[in-house]
Structure 1
């Protein structure tokens, strides 16, 4: 398990490119036959991925870092498949996972395991997890069952659809909010005009990008912005005090997950374009 600590905005102002990437960029999420875990001390958020290329792979707790026998003893988790068909098995019940299917698993599940239906086209299961103090039932949703929100315009190069899976009016959770955003062809900007929400942190996972494509992910305080170059299937830990926006070399898709004080998707502190520096 990779451990990341919280950084004060005044400290981040002095980071060079390498240090900034070390702090907030998760470069490798899918390793054949493994589960990868990155533990952020920002809202005790865990982001990870699993690439089943052989048999079944179990999600197990890092007992030293988590102090728990099972991964979900005191946590909940949201899982979205971005690869080939696979399964997620929760305490003996198997859930088929096609691409862009989402599975929420509540606190208290003892055993979670993953497998691919065809190892020549394996599943790629990306997940977010945060502490939970109440148990909600395990629920699966396909993308057609998510709540779609159509935002932006081609004129502003940000026409996109936000698919909400785990949220206050969808799959219920203790604090996790999760979904994905798909930009339409010819559109490159996400979340611009930008915002902050100091009550919640957020983790972005970028995918569906060409091999030579990049996203310039913007972060930092509105008057002290920075950027990080992100490539396909990489994640960014976005602190609650930071803006989170980005522009790509082509359209792309990203999964967003949030944890913090509330689950209100529209609870944002908008930043006027004239105030960005």
Structure 2
């Protein structure tokens, strides 16, 4: 079964055989931020990378039950679908990345660390996390915790799905960015994850910008307002991807 509806597929013929990213928009596990979906996929296309935008399961405003493990199952299904080569998409099945924003960043990190799955679980080759929810036990975004696990979630489950505690040597190289004054998801989430990656000798690149509200996406603004300072993350990420041989900063594969 195809887990990605056609509108979520950004794999143009010109990019046949190139790597692919699973894009996971944020939204506190309650919704999907449109600005963190299709525009991000088109940016990846501009770098010579394929993309699929996954609208994973989210909770209703008054969800009677905990959402977990539905979003993680959706992400694993998307990865399996792409990895199998049976998707019908002309992508490189050996180079699959994940890019997540906010709560989508939490989902991306759980996929990357194998949190809540056996150690042998398939994982993406690279991960990009933008102002991610990482921890469900410290400096939490409580709205994401409540939507994903319910307001009375047991502490052992919150720990099991805290990506900074699940990271290991098998976690893929990761690019992270955050703003220091993010009032919704504290920057400590990215700092804790970077520290965990360092402990396990996993290559990572972390950028913390001094100012910026939560949910910036590509951080582009109207031309008359100029670019947000955090908009530099896309160029720095492109250079990081080039360093891994997935593209070059100007988009030439």
Q: What TM-score results when the alignment is normalised by the length of structure 1?
A: 0.31
Q: What TM-score results when the alignment is normalised by the length of structure 2?
A: 0.33
More helix by share: 2
Higher-Rg member (1/2) = 1
